[in-house]
Amino acid sequence: MKIYLDNAATTQLDPEVFSAMTPYLLEHYGNASSHHAHGREAKRAIEQARNTIASLINADPSEIIFTGGGTEADNTALLSAEGRRVITTPLEHHAVLHALNKPHYLSVNNKGEIDLAELELLLGDGVPSFVSIMHANNEIGVINDIEAIGRLCESYGAIFHSDTVQTIGHYRHDLQNLKAHYITCSAHKFHGPKGVGFLYCRKGTNLSQLLHGGSQERKLRAGTENIAGIIGLAKAFEIVCRDIDEHKHHIQGLKSRLVAKLKDLPGITFNSTSATEDSLYTVLSVNFPPTGIDLLALLDENNISVSGGSACSTGSASHVLQAIKSDRSKDTVRFSFSKFNTIEEIDYTFEILAGIYNTVAA
């Protein structure tokens, strides 16, 4: 049995998505910028995908810009801060943190939660601000109240960007009610293809161009469009929005089952709120008592794929765990779940973990 529990890093491509993409890999291969029949066919497919996505987040199609993924979408939004003071948190993905120059960091508690009163105090000082706060953290699963943050930003005339890469496809987003100027998406986080995503940019909001060279995406994002990828993105998004309640119930059940079992092992702790139903339901961050062995490698040897945190930070200490002052003497494992995981996989994973710790204790 091979078990994949690293779905926050990437997900298995849905066969239904692959079927939708295949004609645009083999038959409808035209360049959407070409004016002949092949090009027009590709252009129509892109616009149909744009309309589908916009309808699913209650946005206007003109507010959807296709990108090469979540990192590009975040980078593009942040480039548009243009002289405003940037307010963010130390828990953001590196796609945000590495794109900023001397931002103001909000404080976080040991669960990774921010204080909205602190944010309001900053916004109230009259300095034009650009606020970048993720919806849910990819390592510890803490969820920020982006509806409340959006309302605060609107009250004080601040621009609000939210990295929603971990929650698009897992929660419903209504951009008529969410007061965000930018949100981001990456298809491979919800069973779509890698290398494609979108940036939502609210009408009337400035958008600085990151990529230059062509007039694609209304001159906002140069480069020949990834037609098959865009088709796959739209199809994957359509599927997850269609089945979102069923998937959430299934995944939350798997996570709760693993939490209940892990609590039987001595010395286990959980980071942030990840073991509760108030967290991102796809992520569970667990601290294990040190064994003196490489726990991730040992799980890998038993055909269980997990991670210690973000795949983008492999080989370096987690800035997220450092920021919440997690006990670094312990071994941290991030389990992240998808609709394709099963109860049998959860039970087997626990059996392997229990065996490891029973051996160590003996």
The pLDDT tens digits for 57-88 are 999 999 999 999 999 999 999 999 989 999 99
Same domain, 295 and 228: no
Residue 82's pLDDT is: 86
Same domain, 220 and 248: no
- pLDDT band for position 262 (50/70/90)? very high
Last residue of a domain, one of 196, 215, 240: 240
Where do we find the tokens 């491979």?
188
Residue 314's pLDDT is: 54
Tokens representing 92 are: 């953001």
Same domain, 147 and 30: yes
C-alpha span between 23 and 19 (Å, rounded): 8
Is residue 238 within a helix (H) or strand (E), and if so which, with residue range? helix 227-262
Report the candidate in 253, 261, 260, 259 with the shortest Cα–Cα distance to residue 271. Answer: 259
Same domain, 236 and 305: no
Same domain, 180 and 57: yes
Same domain, 138 and 63: yes
- pLDDT at 134 > cutoff 80: yes
Question: Which residues in 8-36 are b (16+ Cβ under 10 Å) and which e?
Answer: bbbbebbeebbebbeebeeebebebeeee
Same domain, 148 and 264: no
Report the candidate in 119, 162, 111, 118 with the shortest Cα–Cα distance to residue 139. Answer: 111
Last residue of a domain, one of 240, 261, 289: 240
Same domain, 215 and 313: no
Same domain, 75 and 54: yes
- pLDDT band for position 359 (50/70/90)? confident
Same domain, 31 and 107: yes
Q: What are phi and psi of 132, to 5 degrees?
A: -125, 105
What's the CATH code of the domain at 339? 3.90.1150.10
Active site residue 312: yes
Stretch 224-241: mean pLDDT:
97
Dihedral in degrees, nearest 10, Cα atoms 115, 119, 125, 127? 160
The amino acid at 72: E
What's the CATH code of the domain at 182? 3.40.640.10
C-alpha span between 110 and 137 (Å, rounded): 14
Same domain, 166 and 315: no
Residue 311's pLDDT is: 55
Q: Reading across the β-sheet that carries 104-105, which strands appear in turn? A: 64-67, 197-201, 182-186, 159-162, 129-132, 85-88, 104-105
Task: Report the predicted TM-score, pTM, of the whole model to 2 decimal places.
Answer: 0.95
User: Facing residues of 194 across strands?
Assistant: none
What is the per-residue pLDDT across 98-120, written as a single tens digit (0 to 9) for each?
Answer: 999 999 999 999 999 999 999 99
Domain count, the chain: 2
Structural domain span for residue 38 = 15-240
Residue 309's pLDDT is: 63
- pLDDT band for position 223 (50/70/90)? very high
Last residue of a domain, one of 189, 224, 240: 240
The amino acid at 282: T
Same domain, 152 and 291: no
**What angle (nearest 5°) sits at the alpha carbon of residue 13, between those of residues 11 and 15?**
145
User: Considering 185, 201, 241, 312, which one is annotated as catalytic?
Assistant: 312
What single-letter DSSP state applies at residue 93? -
